[in-house]
Amino acid sequence: MSRQHLLTVVVLLISSYHAHCVDDLDNGLGKDYEWHSLDDGLKLSKETDKPLMLIIHKSWCGACKAFKPKFAASEKALELSKHFVMVNTLDNDEPDDEKYKPDGGYIPRILFLGSDGEVREEIYNEGGNPQYKFYYYDEGSVIKAMSKAVQLIPQMNARSDEL
């Protein structure tokens, strides 16, 4: 094989791998959402002044498996997602930084971050267990938190009237 052919094959393999990774960013949480990796999401959040919504989940977790189709099918959550930079981390993509575990490392965990990258701990599942504030199990609790985030995060205040 010539050097040119080898280079072409390598480029095609890399492109195919990248396309595969981008397509899989939904991790079962819905292909209609505009998902980003955490690193890209943090950059985009800062550039656009949009808050970031981070869903941390695991492939082996029963509660995560039950939550995913509910979130994926939610038209209201999809509508609200337009106000956020959407990120979900699966398995080894979970960030190590302790700031992403404000009250523990349980899963699934949903956090809202300002465009400065800081976790907004005042946005949590108010109807859930107070020991696990960032645990969400259904569409309704997530929608309430998303709606609250739209109103509380300063850079979203101007857009909250669109809801």
Tell me the CATH number at 124.
3.40.30.10
In a domain, 119, yes or no: yes
Q: Write the pLDDT tens digit of every residue in 70-114.
A: 999 999 999 999 999 999 999 999 999 999 999 999 999 999 999
| pTM of structure | 0.80
In a domain, 108, yes or no: yes
In a domain, 20, yes or no: no
Q: Which of 112, 121, 59, 125 is nearest to 81 (CA)?
A: 112
Contacts of residue 21, Cβ cutoff 8 Å, sequence gap at least 6: none
In a domain, 3, yes or no: no
User: Where do runs of H (alpha helix) occur along the chain?
Assistant: 3-23, 38-48, 62-72, 75-81, 139-152
In a domain, 76, yes or no: yes
CB 60 within 8 A of CB 27: no
132 is in which domain, residue-wise? 28-162
In a domain, 15, yes or no: no
For the chain, the domain total comes to 1
Q: Write the pLDDT tens digit of every residue in 114-162.
A: 999 999 999 999 999 999 999 999 999 999 999 999 998 664 433 434 4
Amino acid making up residue 66: A
